[in-house]
A = this chain, B = another copy of it.
């Protein structure tokens, strides 16, 4: 910057003003400075700026699994909203790994980010508190876990579970299998709980829970195999998968075994990722407004940043929506 100042024949302070407070500098001087900058290829040093200003404009985001289209959709919403206000996004992937999550949170703390969006994988309340106490705004995404003290944005899992189940009952299915787990995951708990309630309210029908350890395609395959091996009388006529990855695995196994979807077994997924609509037999799915969730979380975060003291904790709950496709009605 000193070089720029020298070339333009002004002091470093004026160069800074030209860049950050253009109204304080006469147009002629400003012009001279700008051309000196481009001539020298000067690029301001962000570290120095941050050090002096005391804040970092960037926003950090820690997602659970970057390979899951649901999370990339959320990230997309975040990115979009941030682009509007010109703040950069630093995206990090914890991969459900607590250690990596902690490492990233520590990194963000050192970087003095102005805000962090996080879907916690492990026990990180203390670290989040410390971050917050040091002036970083926090919003929890897609979780409400114990974090009553932080604003959050999530989707109503009970409603989602109910919508899917009522739909299956309405199209005449009575033996519903729910594939997903583990049950201590709040999402699973709520979706399955609401499904059970819906069956009870309906009066007829039954629901069985097929517990699987993970929420991926392979879990869907093994789950489906297990169901197909049941004696015909106990075989379900509908499957409610805890997410679309599982549903895709189920669909694959059913197809390979020659079971007709939806004729023999109807199938409902959850999330409505792009690949649900792209499946050979397009999946009926409970759509989570992922992009909207990212946007809402970002808006909330920006509010907290703007007024850390004034803004109080807020839990935004978005509504899912059932998207009916060929996997339940031909």
> Contact residues of A with B, CB < 8 Å?
41, 43-48, 50-51, 56, 66-67, 69, 72-73, 75-76, 79, 83, 88-93, 100, 104, 106-107, 109-112, 130, 133-134, 217, 245, 248-249, 251-252, 255-256, 274-275, 277-282, 326
Contacts and interface: CB of A to CB of B under 8 A. Distances in A.
Contacts of A278: 217, 245, 248-249, 252
A50 B249 CA distance: 47
A92 B75 CA distance: 10
B43 A47 contact: no
A238 B101 CA distance: 46
A67 B69 contact: yes
A217 B273 CA distance: 13
A134 B43 contact: yes
Given A47-B56, A67-B274, A76-B93, 10 more contacts: A45-B110, A47-B48, A48-B51, A69-B69, A90-B90, A217-B277, A245-B278, A248-B275, A252-B280, A255-B281
8 A-B pairs with least C-beta separation: A280-B280, A47-B50, A46-B110, A91-B91, A255-B280, A47-B51, A217-B278, A47-B47
A259 B275 CA distance: 21
Contact of A109 (B43, B56, B69, B217): B43
A72 B95 CA distance: 12
12 contacts: A43-B106, A46-B47, A46-B112, A47-B51, A47-B56, A47-B111, A66-B91, A69-B69, A89-B92, A249-B278, A251-B280, A252-B282
B217 A274 contact: yes
B47 A112 contact: yes
Given A45-B112, A251-B280, A275-B248, A93 B79 contact: yes
Given A67-B76, A72-B66, A91 B88 contact: no
Nearest to A50: B47
A50 to B, nearest CB: 4
